A and B are shown apart, each in its own frame.
Chain A
């Protein structure tokens, strides 16, 4: 088990035997094909319940990659914040690297890791970090006033809609990763 947040690749080991690709059913194979990494222990574990994987993989893909709306780097930043709060070392590693690739700003991630979510950020990133933290920690306390910092940095309705989905999606992704297996050194 590795517990340190990192920008380096991390592996993930399942706590129960994943589906064996050699004996996967046609439905399991099709659902895995639509998943980000069809051969990973994580998706092969989720394939035990093919009904939910068939829905979740296209949902995840849409929330993270749908065109227009919130820029991809902003979605990645939000998912890193949620993953830090929930303590998901694997998820934060994957999406921290995506953010760094898109923005060439790995130092933002290092500061979030080392100094915490309160670290100094430019206004747009500050607004995203604060909103992601609020919706993750206190969903029922979120009110119209919490959207004003997002409006102030120019976010329109669709961008805020997308941000809410990215944050909510990682309440999901973190819990699956954290409760069906564990991160191991890559």
Chain B
């Protein structure tokens, strides 16, 4: 069965790299599992599904991954949110604070300070939400998908 990595990397279910991935069953299961509990958890706690999808979209866009960007844009639309409105002046202050933090972790993780976590707390994020934001940004799919694409190109050449 295809998962998000296959889909984003353009791997058909019977392609060499998709079959290679299935030699590492735990990698596949917990990669998709991480995505599922971070992006579409049954109990999202204090971090809404829209905030989660918006954070993931920002990471995919910063990573310039077109397939993942399209995936998260579609997810946001399915949640009733406009993916083009995330940088609008009237974006809710809490979402703006989350996206500022997301951008910082994605682009310059070594510059994050305790004051950045304070800003999230002031915006109403609790410990679970703060960890979940870090996990969403840190989730390794941008580089994983890019690597699988290169491997597929090499095997199909």
Nearest CB in chain B: distance from A57 CB, A: 9
Q: In the complex, what distance in Å separates the CA atom of A163 from the CA atom of B137? A: 21
- Given A54-B37, A142-B146, residue A161 in contact with residue B105 (CB < 8 A): no
B124 within 8 A of A: no
Residue-wise, chain A 143-159 has the 8 Å CB interface mask toward B (1 for contact) of 11011000100000110
Q: Which A139-186 residues have C-beta < 8 A from chain B? A: 139-140, 142-144, 146-147, 151, 157-158, 160-162, 164-165, 167-169, 171-176, 178-180
A121 within 8 A of B: no
Nearest CB in chain B: distance from A91 CB, A: 11
Residue-wise, chain A 37-55 has the 8 Å CB interface mask toward B (1 for contact) of 0000000011011011011
User: Is the pair B138, A144 in contact by a Cβ cutoff of 8 Å?
Assistant: no
Q: Which A12-60 residues have C-beta < 8 A from chain B? A: 15-17, 45-46, 48-49, 51-52, 54-56, 58-59
User: Is the pair A171, B142 in contact by a Cβ cutoff of 8 Å?
Assistant: yes
Which interface residue of B41, B117, B137, B138 has the most chain A CB atoms within 10 A? B138
User: Is the pair A161, B24 in contact by a Cβ cutoff of 8 Å?
Assistant: yes
User: Is the pair A55, B146 in contact by a Cβ cutoff of 8 Å?
Assistant: no
- Given A15-B114, A135-B146, residue A58 in contact with residue B30 (CB < 8 A): yes
User: Is the pair A168, B147 in contact by a Cβ cutoff of 8 Å?
Assistant: yes
User: Is the pair A165, B26 in contact by a Cβ cutoff of 8 Å?
Assistant: no
User: Is the pair B27, A165 in contact by a Cβ cutoff of 8 Å?
Assistant: yes
Nearest CB in chain B: distance from A138 CB, A: 9
Residues from chain A with a CB closer than 8 A to the CB of B117 are 15-16, 180
A6 within 8 A of B: no
B95 within 8 A of A: no
Please classify the interface of chain B as helix (H, G, I), strand (E, B), loop, or mixed, using the class held by over half of its residues: helix
Per the CB 8 Å criterion, the residue count for chain A at the interface is 50
User: Is the pair A161, B157 in contact by a Cβ cutoff of 8 Å?
Assistant: no
User: Is the pair A140, B34 in contact by a Cβ cutoff of 8 Å?
Assistant: no
Q: In the complex, what distance in Å separates the CA atom of A18 from the CA atom of B105? A: 20
B13 within 8 A of A: no
Residues from chain B with a CB closer than 8 A to the CB of A102 are none
- Range class of the B interface residue count: 35 or more
- Given A86-B109, A161-B20, A179-B112, residue A48 in contact with residue B37 (CB < 8 A): no
Residue-wise, chain B 17-52 has the 8 Å CB interface mask toward A (1 for contact) of 100110110110011011001100101010000000
User: Is the pair B34, A139 in contact by a Cβ cutoff of 8 Å?
Assistant: no
B77 within 8 A of A: no
Interchain residue pairs with CB less than 8 A apart (27): A17-B127, A46-B131, A48-B130, A51-B41, A52-B34, A52-B131, A56-B30, A59-B31, A62-B24, A135-B146, A139-B142, A142-B147, A144-B154, A151-B154, A157-B16, A157-B20, A157-B151, A158-B23, A164-B143, A164-B148, A167-B143, A168-B141, A171-B143, A175-B134, A175-B138, A180-B130, A180-B131
Residues of A within 8 A of B (CB): 15-17, 45-46, 48-49, 51-52, 54-56, 58-59, 62-63, 66, 69, 86-88, 135-136, 139-140, 142-144, 146-147, 151, 157-158, 160-162, 164-165, 167-169, 171-176, 178-180
